[in-house]
Amino acid sequence: MRALLTGATGFVGQNLKTYLQDRGWQLGTIGRKDSSKDMDEKMQSFKPDVVIHLATLFKAEHQTEDIPDLIQSNITFGTQVLESMVRHNILNFINTGTLWQYYEGQKDVPSCLYAATKTAFESILRFYSSANQMKVINLMLADTYGPKDPRKKLLPKLLSIAGTEKKLQLSEGQQVIAWTFIGDVVEAFEVAAQRLILDQEAKRFVSYTVTSTEELSLRESVRLCEQVLGKKIWVDFGTKPYRKREVMGPERLDPQLPGWTAKVSLAQGIEACRHG
């Protein structure tokens, strides 16, 4: 089976690429810098069974000058991909969303402008799926992690300071996180791709949650890290304020992706990161 990936150089993208290749998939990639013509050529020559759209620009809190890039990366680029797909009758699309789109459990209230651009893109997706028989699965992700994560996220920081004298300044740490291991995440994308290709999806546009069911507060997560690594981690909780509109827990407003469940516990995942 053939998949065309956007965002293939990101953390999820690189892992998905390796995973799918190992499972015998043929892969192509397109990037934000490809012209419409480049995209058209790839659609025509590669003829993917499914397009997996991972490309995103993430800003937890935006600055005014981020607006054009946020919209270009998270709305315009995806629209151009969809347009190129329908011109070549390629009609299976997997989109990547975030639980941050559901602030305080409200389906239409994004927690930040980044999340708003994700919800905005869903309107574009609904147009293409309705007007062009396109089938869309929208995977709603929460916190992903795994070995060699280049993103400046909490877990890599904890791992890097474990056993050292360095102290990390954090918020109160009561936010609850559904840590989802990258190995589980990439499986979800394959499961979703197969659902589309094997025509197992009744709806034209459907959103599914892709998160671990294990939930730990940020404080508990730090303690677990210490246990697994057998090293002290110095953290000053409460020395930083929560973000404006901090997301305090995973809002699973969509059903879990059928045929998939997260298998890796945070303890196992930390162990994997340590050796990765």
Q: Interaction with a second copy in 229-248: which residues (CB under 8 A)? A: 244-245
Strand stretches in 162-215, DSSP E = 167-170, 176-177, 180-181, 205-210
Residue 33 dihedral angles phi and psi, to the nearest 5°: -90, -10
- Within 244-273, the residues that bind a second copy by CB under 8 A are 244-245
Return the axis-axis angle of helices 11-22 and 182-197, rounded to nearest 10°: 60
Q: How far is the CB of 66 from a second copy (least distance, A)?
A: 10
Q: What residues numbered 167-206 form the site for a second copy, per CB under 8 A?
A: none
The span from the CA of 243 to the CA of 269, in Å, is 26
**Least distance from a second copy to the Cβ atom of residue 143, Å:** 21
Tell me how far the alpha carbon of residue 188 is from its chain's centroid: 11
Dihedral sign, Cα of residue 116, residue 102, residue 123, residue 6: positive
**Cβ at position 258, least distance to a second copy in Å:** 22
Q: Does 79 bind a second copy (CB under 8 A)?
A: yes
How many angstroms separate the CA atoms of 110 and 98, rounded? Answer: 10
Binding mask 12-41 for a second copy (x = CB under 8 A): ------------------------x-----
Nearest approach in angstroms of CB 32 to a second copy is 13
CB of residue 41 vs a second copy: minimum separation in angstroms?
A: 14
Q: Using CB under 8 A, pick the residue from 11, 25, 93, 103 that binds a second copy.
A: 103
Q: How far is the CB of 245 from a second copy (least distance, A)?
A: 6
Joined together, the tokens standing for residue 122 give 């869903």
Q: In this structure, what token pair is assigned to residue 168? A: 């990390």
Q: Whose Cβ is closer to a second copy: residue 78's or residue 269's?
A: 78
What tokens does 111 get?
């927690």
Name which of residues 50 to 69 contact a second copy (CB under 8 A).
64-65, 67-68
Residues, the chain: 276
Query: 215: exposed, middle or buried (C-beta count within 10 Å: 0-12, 13-18, 19+)?
Result: middle
Residue found under tokens 């992903």 = 144
Binding mask 110-129 for a second copy (x = CB under 8 A): xxxx-xxx-xxxxxx-xx--
Residue 71 buriedness (CB in 10 A; 0-12 / 13-18 / 19+)? middle
Positions in the binding site for a second copy (CB under 8 A): 36, 64-65, 67-68, 71, 75-76, 79-80, 83-84, 87, 103, 106, 108-113, 115-117, 119-124, 126-127, 130-131, 244-245
